[in-house]
Structure 1
Amino acid sequence: MGTWGTGAFENDNALDWIGEFCEDPGDAGLRAALLAAADADGVLEAPEAESALAAAEIVAALKGAPTTDAVVVEDYLPIITRASIPVGAELSALALRAIDRVVSDSELKELWDELDDATAWYDEVATLRQRVVHPR
């Protein structure tokens, strides 16, 4: 796992995903990442789980509750906030389904469960979920 912290963007897969998303910020790429997690058959693989959490962060940002990750705020948040992606109840629900799938049945969850930082990771994901449900 190319991971250096518990945040949604503190891994290579999420940074790769957001970089690609920001090249063409649109509804299709966002939904694809969320659906890949929410509707995955079997155990959700770690790269897809990391991308789904990054996509859920985009939903939170579009709802006015962005991450405080300095790299994302500086490099990507201006692009994200200019994206004209409507965030209604359906997209929010999809983001929540993806988050719930990551923490319930994913390779990423299994990897974090083996580490001492598991509680911190669960807390980060719970905070993300809360920002999707109740933005500021």
Structure 2
Amino acid sequence: MECAVMGSWGYGIFENDDVLDWKAELLETKGLDFIEATLDNVIKADYIEADLSSNGLGAIEIVAALQGKPGVEIRNKNIYVEGLDGWIKLYAGQGEGLIEAAKIAVKRIKTDSELKELWEDSDEFAEWLKVVRELEGRLSTI
């Protein structure tokens, strides 16, 4: 699939270059500090640039997965999430203190981010928004 958003090949959380770089960095970390820092950066940014938005969505997805609510990419062991399974198992059940930050971050990305603007200018905006709303929905059940 050719995607209108630069560096993306799909509208899934892990279907872009930025979040895959972020994921590689995450897999080198211990504990949840890297995720917390990413969420803080999203929440505190005056303007959430596309790369931070993508990284934020990755962090939010991990927070949900740690609480037993993984998205379809993780459940289906999509090739782009390779390596995350073991990391998530190692920290499963942790991160409850990050849930509220994740909820705030996903709302900001969904409504006021460069990534949202880029997707709005594409033919795939509805699909991207559906993915983000699904993630937001999983968070609301935690």
Same fold (TM over 0.5): yes
Matches within 5 A, 1:1-136: 1-41=6-46, 43-69=47-73, 70-72=78-80, 74-83=82-91, 86-88=94-96, 90-134=97-141
TM-score normalised by L of structure 1: 0.90
Report the 3-state secondary structure (helix = DSSP H, G, I; strand = E; otherwise coil) of the residue aligned with 1:26: coil
Contact 1:46-1:107 at 8 Å conserved across structures:
yes
Alpha-carbon deviations, 1:8-34, whole Å to 9, x = none? 100011111111111114221001111
Give me the whole-angstrom Cα distance separating, in 1, the residues matched to 2:95 and 2:49: 26
- Identity of aligned pairs, percent? 38
Give me the whole-angstrom Cα distance separating, in 2, the residues matched to 1:14 and 1:76: 12
Instruction: Let me know the Cα RMSD of the aligned residues.
Output: 1.6
Per-residue deviation, 1:73: 5.0
Q: 1:36 to 1:60 in 2, by over 3 A?
A: same
Task: Count how many residue pairs are aligned between Structure 1 and Structure 2.
Answer: 133
Give me the whole-angstrom Cα distance separating, in 2, the residues matched to 1:75 and 1:114: 32
Report the 3-state secondary structure (helix = DSSP H, G, I; strand = E; otherwise coil) of the residue aligned with 2:72: coil
TM-score normalised by L of structure 2: 0.87
Per-residue deviation, 1:80: 1.8
Letter in structure 2 aligned against 1:4? W
Q: Any stretches of 5+ residues in structure 1 without a counterpart?
A: none
Per-residue deviation, 1:72: 4.8
Letter in structure 1 aligned against 2:33? A
Report the 3-state secondary structure (helix = DSSP H, G, I; strand = E; otherwise coil) of the residue aligned with 1:32: helix
Q: Any stretches of 5+ residues in structure 2 without a counterpart?
A: 1-5
Report the 3-state secondary structure (helix = DSSP H, G, I; strand = E; otherwise coil) of the residue aligned with 1:122: helix
